[in-house]
Structure 1
Amino acid sequence: MHIATLVAAPGRLAPAMVETLRNAWGGGDAVWLAPDETAEFAVAEVPGHAEDVWRSLQDEGVDLCVQPAQGRRKQLLIADMDSTMIRQECIDELAEVAGVGERVREITARAMNGELDFEGALLARVALLEGLPTTVISEVLAERITYMPGGAALVATMKADGARTVLVSGGFTAFAEAVGATLGFDRVQANELLEHDGALTGDVARPILGRDAKVEALRRETAALGLGPEAALAVGDGANDLGMLGLAGTGVALHAKPAVQAECRLRVNHGDLTALLYLQGYARDEFATP
């Protein structure tokens, strides 16, 4: 048995659309998790044209995710930070302040789409920040970083239901620790920007934490819980997230780069981070208060 979940921006999911798809797929009764926003129904088999249906619904501003019904609620949330839990790429924002924004954004875009080696791209970008005062980090956090809607509710609800929550970033601890504390994550993992005499040196501490480190974190955290990777829900947007997205029981590409969406079964482009709760079967009135 599988569950088909339809998610749209609030007020954008029409009951007629849900009923049309449910009838076409021979699904069970529709269950509305949030009025005019999210509904789901059970199907015995996934139709062979499900990908075509997904594409057509994308044009209507609706995400369609189909997954096995068993074991949907997860005991571990492992999440990327940049362009996932927050709207920005922190290194890009630092680069803007340093006056090298265009050069760094181009490298970031290519790296996140899998066109460049992550570690090499990170070192090339960080080198362009050499000499930037470390005080700029707190300024960027306060003035340029905004949170992805639904993140606090996602973390709070999963923790209230007994899950562990881990923020794993290829970015920097100076940002990840602040973001993790604000959103209530249990643990944070990221790279450390090196500094000397109040300025960035243009380098990061070794080893560099990239794609493999995220996979290792997922394995480590589920093992600590006495569980396997299937107990994890992973979310990310970039090529360095693909390892953990593929290993997790539920891997969600959130507003992801084209190369990432091409390899992921579960994709959310129109909903926010609360979509990850809906995919686990939580109704909006079950969300915990952050």
Structure 2
Amino acid sequence: MAYVATLISNPSAPALTSEAIHDARAVLPGAQDPVVLAAEIAVDIHFAPELGADARALADAVRAALGSAPIDVVVQLETGRRKRLFLADMDSTMIGQECIDELADLVGVKAHVAAITERAMRGEIDFEPALRERVALLRGLPAGVVADVLRDRISLTPGGPELVGTMKANGAYAALVSGGFTLFTGEIANRIGFDEHRANTLLIEDERFVGAVAEPILGRDAKLAALVELRDGLHLAPSETMAVGDGANDLAMLQEAGLGVAFHAKPAVAAAAHARVDHGDLTALLYMQGYSRDEFRTV
């Protein structure tokens, strides 16, 4: 069967040299000439491994050949690369921050909350009780501060608008599915161009947070359920779906997707996902679908 290896560097620091491409081709059986998707940023290398080849093992072999070069490697079958359903985590994926940590900073407990967030994202503690514990510390905080946090503290991850815009321009449906809060996902989904968003609801009374979140909590199982629901509702095959995230609560969703991508993820997540992006921005998810730079769009 025909496979393709996609080599991707960060557009802000192009690192894909001819030497790197040569080294990658040397370990790929039957490697063809590279197809340039973006000069010095991304190429496809089509090749034909033996029957029963393991895509992860092949990707690891290419990474080993590249040494310390800041280049991501994704190996997959040639067919069915372009996906029709895209689900994305928000915090530390589509945006560069953890929203709850930024809210906690306003009440002087950011370091404490961030430590809990980190443990939850690594899978060291269960997500749901960890979220309840962190939200309790926000009790009494004016709900209006969310607008200030969105304006002053939250930044989109580079490549996000291009990723969603290009996939939608080619017929895909995009959903932002977060273990965070609807007060944030609504604005972020609108900025980037998602078709819908799902997240947890912070409870508010007299315009202040009560220190609790509506149950049931949207966590690992709910993210997986959202993927299955949207996939079945759109009558898509599992192979036609893509998901991206960075934390342990994303892993079930990533593993169910046709292509699950760990984005600058915690080690256990990166090790278990189908593909990993350690160096690039979110446009890496377009290159691994075979899109060239001149096909990029924004909503």
With normalisation by structure 1, the TM-score equals 0.97
How far did 1:43 drift? 1.7
| Structure 1 match to 2:198 | 189
1:42 aligns with 2:63: no
| Structure 1 match to 2:15 | 12
SS in 2 for 1:182: helix
1:21 aligns with 2:24: yes
The separation in 2 between residues aligned to 1:232 and 1:92, in whole angstroms, is 30
1:115–1:21 CA distance, 2 compared to 1 (3 A): same
Q: Is the Cα–Cα contact under 8 Å of residues 57 and 64 in structure 1 kept in the other structure?
A: no
The separation in 1 between residues aligned to 2:297 and 2:204, in whole angstroms, is 39
| Structure 2 match to 1:255 | 264
SS in 1 for 2:281: coil
Identity across the alignment (%):
52
Q: Is the Cα–Cα contact under 8 Å of residues 222 and 229 in structure 1 kept in the other structure?
A: yes
How far did 1:24 drift? 3.1
Aligned match for 1:122, one of 116, 126, 131:
131
1:83-125 Cα deviation digits (max 9, x unpaired) = 0000000000001111110110000000000001000100010
Q: Which amino acid aligns with 1:39?
A: V
1:105-150 Cα deviation digits (max 9, x unpaired) = 0000000000010001000100111111111111110000000000
1:66 aligns with 2:75: yes
1:145-200 Cα deviation digits (max 9, x unpaired) = 00000000011101100100000000000000000011110010000000111110
Q: Which amino acid aligns with 1:248?
A: A
The separation in 2 between residues aligned to 1:92 and 1:194, in whole angstroms, is 17
Bigger mean CA offset, 15-24 vs 178-187: 15-24
Counterparts in 2 of 1:233-248, with a 5 A limit? 233-248=242-257
The separation in 2 between residues aligned to 1:143 and 1:202, in whole angstroms, is 23
The separation in 2 between residues aligned to 1:279 and 1:160, in whole angstroms, is 17
1:256–1:58 CA distance, 2 compared to 1 (3 A): farther
Q: Which amino acid aligns with 1:9?
A: N
Q: Is the Cα–Cα contact under 8 Å of residues 255 and 274 in structure 2 kept in the other structure?
A: no
Q: Is the Cα–Cα contact under 8 Å of residues 237 and 253 in structure 1 kept in the other structure?
A: yes
Q: Is the Cα–Cα contact under 8 Å of residues 57 and 63 in structure 1 kept in the other structure?
A: no
How far did 1:261 drift? 0.9
1:197-217 Cα deviation digits (max 9, x unpaired) = 111011000111101111111
How far did 1:49 drift? 5.9
Q: Is the Cα–Cα contact under 8 Å of residues 93 and 246 in structure 2 kept in the other structure?
A: yes
The separation in 2 between residues aligned to 1:229 and 1:168, in whole angstroms, is 18
The separation in 1 between residues aligned to 2:61 and 2:294, in whole angstroms, is 32
SS in 2 for 1:130: coil
SS in 2 for 1:201: strand
1:269–1:58 CA distance, 2 compared to 1 (3 A): farther
RMSD of the alignment, in Å? 1.3
The separation in 2 between residues aligned to 1:38 and 1:92, in whole angstroms, is 34
The separation in 1 between residues aligned to 2:125 and 2:144, in whole angstroms, is 30
How far did 1:265 drift? 2.9
Structure 1 gaps, min length 5: none
Q: Is the Cα–Cα contact under 8 Å of residues 158 and 282 in structure 2 kept in the other structure?
A: yes
Number of positions where the alignment pairs a residue of Structure 1 with one of Structure 2: 290
Q: Which amino acid aligns with 1:3?
A: V
Q: Is the Cα–Cα contact under 8 Å of residues 173 and 191 in structure 1 kept in the other structure?
A: yes
Counterparts in 2 of 1:94-105, with a 5 A limit? 94-105=103-114
Structure 2 gaps, min length 5: none
1:211 aligns with 2:212: no
Q: Is the Cα–Cα contact under 8 Å of residues 218 and 229 in structure 1 kept in the other structure?
A: no
| Structure 1 match to 2:176 | 167
Bigger mean CA offset, 4-13 vs 249-258: 4-13
The separation in 1 between residues aligned to 2:210 and 2:158, in whole angstroms, is 34
Q: Is the Cα–Cα contact under 8 Å of residues 155 and 165 in structure 1 kept in the other structure?
A: yes
Q: Is the Cα–Cα contact under 8 Å of residues 20 and 66 in structure 2 kept in the other structure?
A: no
Q: Is the Cα–Cα contact under 8 Å of residues 230 and 247 in structure 1 kept in the other structure?
A: no
| Structure 1 match to 2:186 | 177
